Amino acid sequence: MKICIVGKFPPIQGGVSAQVYWTARELAKRGHEVHIITNADEVEFGFRQYFRDEDHSHREISTTNGSILVHSTTNLGNKRFIPYANPDTSKLFGLATSVIKEYGCDVIVGWYLEPYGFVAGLIGLATDIPVIIRHAGSDIGRLAKHNELANAYRFVLNRAEKIITSTTLVDYLISLGAKREQIKLGKISKLAPQLRKSSKPLNIREFDAMLTEWIKRSTDDKKIADEITAMNLKLFTDGVIIGIYGKIGITKGNYDLLRALEILAIKGIKFSFVQIPCGTGESLRRYFKRILGSKSLLNNTWIIPPLPPWRIPEFLSLCDATCFLEREFLITFHTPMIPRKILASGSCMILSEEIAKKQVFKTNLVDERNCIIVSDPKDVKNLALKLEKLIKSPELICDIGLHGRYLSQFFEEQLPDNHFVDAIESHK
């Protein structure tokens, strides 16, 4: 089958991009020809994953069984119109229609409503090819609350053949124009095989040169780039390694973690803090200034530029303990995949209670047995105490990480391989 997916894709950072990538890989593995229509090559640098030379071969696949071909929009160059905006919708539509004309497609998948789902709906209307819509959290939970965007999404949802969603969002989608018969409930699927097996630890020294370029281009601040580079070049020490990765922000718990680690550093407790941050230029600039303003943190902190999804297992293998401290997140049904990836890696997971309660296996999460649960990351003194106990007990970290991996193995084995792939294949 020939499948056209309009959506995020590496080097775009984030959970949706990673899900599209792993789904495309599975479709190709099953013998399908997958065409990715994306604007990934235009992603802003604060959210751009950095590829090493060997990483480019992971993006596209061409075998006797199946293939992935990536088609990305290009920059307008010196072409301008007033008021200026990057015409992503028009470019994606034009690119997709060209690809479909050249290769032909049996089904169109729009993954994330803005602008990809909307574009998929337009292409389906223009070509009479069936459309499947897969939404995420922020498009339905945040963008759809804007009246003009809601009208656009209503147009698309009303015309899709299938809409993949969860039970809790059925009524909301119907209020946005979906029909009950269009809705197909998505099932939790196994993590990709590459995320469930052991991986060699990442060598952070491999990214020193990339880091300077990434910070300079993402923040447009040479001074911060030079200072962060200097901080990163210090000898990477042994001992307990605490990690975190993903978008930075108040509700993500990044600043809570910085304050807690600062308490430990001032007390003279030795640890290494490694992180893969991403965000807007302003949010990154603010965050880096916070780190640079603390001498105690400078001595314990290393930064790695955003990495493609196939390298995340290497990062998690580097970390003795990995944090996911999201709290007071406005989109209540947001259920990130990062906790499952941490558990699968065997890194000791340090998790906010808010996110722990959102896990399907929440009743199996036991504090200080297979994870560390932090009731409120804003209570930085309590967070610091939990971190201190771990840092002073490396054997406890190993034991918790091992039991977390046992839980992951048991849980993942109960799940279907990839429910969304099955939903797409039903168009055969």
Packing angle of the helix pair 118-127, 147-159 (nearest 10 deg): 40
The pLDDT assigned to 419 comes to 81
The pLDDT assigned to 248 comes to 96
The pLDDT assigned to 225 comes to 92
Provide the β-strand partners of residue 165.
185
Say how far apart CA 106 and CA 320 lie, in whole Å: 46
User: pLDDT tens for residues 157-190?
Assistant: 999 999 999 888 999 999 988 999 999 988 889 9
The pLDDT assigned to 208 comes to 86
User: pLDDT tens for residues 398-412?
Assistant: 999 999 999 999 999
- Statement: residue 65 has pLDDT above 70: yes
| Phi, psi for residue 252 in degrees, rounded to 5 | -85, -10
CB 343, CB 319: distance < 8 Å = no
The pLDDT assigned to 235 comes to 85
- Can you point out the beta strands (E) in 171-299? 183-185, 241-247, 272-278
The pLDDT assigned to 261 comes to 97
- Statement: residue 305 has pLDDT above 90: yes
Superfamily of domain 2-186: Glycogen Phosphorylase B; (3.40.50.2000)
Rg (CA), the chain: 22
What's the CATH number for 195-413?
Answer: 3.40.50.2000
Percent of the chain residues topping a pLDDT of 70: 99
Q: What's the mean pLDDT in 12-39?
A: 96
| Phi, psi for residue 353 in degrees, rounded to 5 | -60, -35
Maximum CA pair distance of the chain? Answer: 66
- Measured in whole angstroms, the distance separating CA 275 from the mean position of its chain's CA atoms is 14
More confident residue, 336 or 353: 353
Query: Checking phi first, is residue 279 left (phi over 0); if not, alpha (psi -120 to 50) or beta?
Result: left
The pLDDT assigned to 312 comes to 97
The pLDDT assigned to 391 comes to 96
User: pLDDT tens for residues 117-133?
Assistant: 999 999 999 999 999 99
- Statement: residue 363 has pLDDT above 80: yes
Say how far apart CA 303 and CA 12 lie, in whole Å: 19
The pLDDT assigned to 77 comes to 83
Q: What's the mean pLDDT in 228-254?
A: 92
Q: What's the mean pLDDT in 11-24?
A: 96
CB 37, CB 70: distance < 8 Å = no
- Statement: residue 341 has pLDDT above 90: yes
Provide the β-strand partners of residue 185.
165
CB 275, CB 245: distance < 8 Å = yes
Percent of the chain residues topping a pLDDT of 90: 82
User: pLDDT tens for residues 288-297?
Assistant: 999 999 999 9
Q: Is 38 helix (H, G, I), strand (E, B) or coil?
A: strand
Say how far apart CA 297 and CA 305 lie, in whole Å: 18
Sorted by where each begins, the domain ranges of the chain are 2-186, 195-413
Joined tokens for residue 90: 């028009």
pLDDT band per the 50, 70, 90 thresholds, residue 428: low
The pLDDT assigned to 177 comes to 87
The pLDDT assigned to 72 comes to 97
Spatial CA neighbour of 406 closest among 352, 377, 370: 370
pLDDT band per the 50, 70, 90 thresholds, residue 149: very high
- Statement: residue 332 has pLDDT above 80: no
Q: Over the chain, what is the mean pLDDT?
A: 93
Torsion of CA 21, 27, 31, 33, to 10 degrees: -60
Say how far apart CA 215 and CA 303 lie, in whole Å: 10
The pLDDT assigned to 63 comes to 78
Side-chain-side CA neighbours of residue 336 (13 Å): 22
Tell me the residue length of the chain: 428
Q: What's the mean pLDDT in 20-42?
A: 96
According to DSSP, residue 12 is labeled: B
- Can you point out the beta strands (E) in 295-344? 301-303, 321-324
Q: Do domains 2-186 and 195-413 have the same CATH topology?
A: yes
According to DSSP, residue 52 is labeled: P
Q: What's the mean pLDDT in 263-280?
A: 96
300 contacts: CB under 8 Å, gap ≥ 6 = 261, 265, 270, 271, 272, 273
Q: Is 57 helix (H, G, I), strand (E, B) or coil?
A: helix
- Statement: residue 239 has pLDDT above 90: no
pLDDT band per the 50, 70, 90 thresholds, residue 254: very high
